[in-house]
């Protein structure tokens, strides 16, 4: 399948307020994950591995760092002739004076000139803040084979959790016949993953109509229902791999902890589907003579002189002598002092935990976000 006529548009402008201090100065897709990666690396790597050559990253909130990061298309092998990664921020235009994206659909509407210039036949719309690996090429194959107007990736979720998602109700051939936005009593457990393939010619017409309408300019709330009301053919694409929306501290911690599972479906060591990232040229890791390590994910540049159990250490973090870190995520550049104790914590970038400080509880159901403010107040 030739995916050169499909352009990917990654929605990466969300504020990510439920991640609190982690997104005060950077957009959620720029948040670090899994030691050396950023969240945005996953959809970008999926595009590269799926042979998609042209990718637009739609930026808004705290966009400077993310814009600079995605500018290097070669990181993901997307620097070939005629393609690349393009940072697309809201632009003020003569005819509309728009300066912000008013919704997910509006973000695409404001960049239809980009899609026109790329001669897009199909448009792949992605979220920039999900952790997963997916072959979009296979999804496009089904979209074309089904002669669909739109194809939506779905996955089965536990029925008791279905009310948290947009739910796609389908017939026996997986044609979507009804969409329910976070229903109190869901009719099925097929949750939308926020991954769409549209035939561009049709999408363009509906975006133009939505632009003039009094709506929230959102794919889930407006465009998908409009397609259904018009009787267009919407198909569900069933995904059975690993996928997680890391929009909260707990879910971000859980996704990092999942890397330690023996049956880790994400598998960042898979040579057949690599996740690419910007290499910061950190030094090698150093494991000291007094270190004790049990089931840990330790990245380049880390220094460990204490005890680490069932934890993930990000680039350039360090664990002091006598310190004990259990069930925790230690993000980039964080320093854990001598004889400190951390249980079920997520330590933000560059935080310094003082010698002897205890944070978190072994049996707590909640994850403690450790920030500079928390540490300074605890001293």
CB 128, CB 181: distance < 8 Å:
no
Task: Give the closest residue to 22 by CA, choosing from 303, 258, 247.
Answer: 247
**Token digits for 274?**
């690599």
Task: Give the closest residue to 203 by CA, choosing from 176, 228, 223.
Answer: 223
CB 47, CB 78: distance < 8 Å:
yes
Its pTM stands at 0.93
CB atoms within 10 A of CB 271: 5
Residue 350 to residue 25: CA distance in whole angstroms: 13
From first to last of its 379 residues, the chain has per-residue pLDDT tens of: 666 699 999 999 777 678 888 988 888 999 999 999 999 999 999 999 999 999 999 998 877 888 888 888 788 878 765 688 999 988 665 555 556 888 999 999 999 999 999 999 999 999 999 999 999 999 999 999 999 999 999 999 988 889 888 999 999 999 999 999 889 999 999 999 999 999 999 999 999 999 888 889 999 899 999 999 999 999 999 999 999 989 899 999 999 999 999 888 899 999 999 999 986 778 889 999 999 999 999 999 999 999 999 999 999 999 999 999 999 999 999 999 999 999 999 999 999 999 999 999 999 999 999 999 999 887 6
**Token digits for 286?**
């150093």
**Token digits for 363?**
């049996």
Distances (CA, A) of 194 to 35, 63, 172, 341: 26, 21, 22, 39
């Amino acid at each position: 399948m030739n995916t050169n006529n499909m352009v990917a548009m990654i929605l990466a402008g969300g504020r990510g307020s439920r991640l609190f201090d982690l997104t005060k100065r950077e957009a959620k897709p720029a948040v670090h994950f899994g030691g050396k990666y950023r969240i945005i690396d996953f959809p970008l790597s999926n595009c590269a591995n799926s042979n998609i050559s042209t990718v637009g990253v739609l930026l808004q909130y705290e966009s400077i760092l993310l814009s600079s990061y995605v500018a290097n298309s070669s990181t993901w092998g997307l620097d070939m002739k005629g393609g690349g990664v393009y940072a697309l921020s809201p632009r003020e235009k003569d005819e509309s004076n728009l300066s912000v994206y008013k919704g997910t659909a509006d973000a695409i509407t404001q960049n239809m000139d980009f899609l026109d210039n790329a001669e897009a036949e199909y448009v792949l719309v992605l979220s920039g803040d999900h952790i997963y690996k997916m072959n979009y090429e296979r999804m496009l194959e089904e979209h074309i084979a089904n002669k669909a107007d739109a194809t939506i990736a779905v996955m089965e979720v536990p029925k008791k959790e279905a009310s948290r998602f947009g739910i796609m109700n389908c017939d026996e051939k997986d044609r979507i016949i009804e969409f329910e936005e976070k229903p109190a009593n869901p009719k099925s457990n097929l949750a939308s993953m926020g991954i769409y393939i549209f035939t561009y010619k049709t999408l363009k017409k509906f975006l133009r109509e939505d632009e003039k309408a009094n709506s929230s300019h959102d794919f889930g709330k407006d465009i998908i229902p409009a397609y259904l009301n018009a009787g267009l053919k919407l198909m569900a694409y069933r995904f059975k791999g690993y996928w997680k929306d890391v929009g909260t501290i707990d879910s971000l911690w859980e996704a990092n902890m999942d890397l330690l599972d023996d049956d880790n479906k994400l598998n960042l060591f898979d040579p057949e589907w690599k996740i690419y990232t910007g290499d910061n040229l950190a030094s090698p890791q150093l494991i000291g003579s007094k270190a004790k390590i049990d089931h840990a994910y330790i990245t380049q540049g880390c220094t460990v002189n204490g005890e680490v159990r069932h934890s993930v250490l990000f680039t350039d973090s360090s664990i002091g002598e006598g310190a004990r870190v259990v069930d925790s995520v230690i993000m980039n550049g964080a320093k854990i002092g001598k004889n400190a104790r951390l249980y079920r914590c997520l330590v933000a970038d560059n935080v310094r935990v003082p010698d002897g400080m205890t944070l978190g509880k072994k049996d707590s159901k909640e994850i403690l976000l450790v920030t500079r403010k928390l540490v300074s107040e605890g001293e």
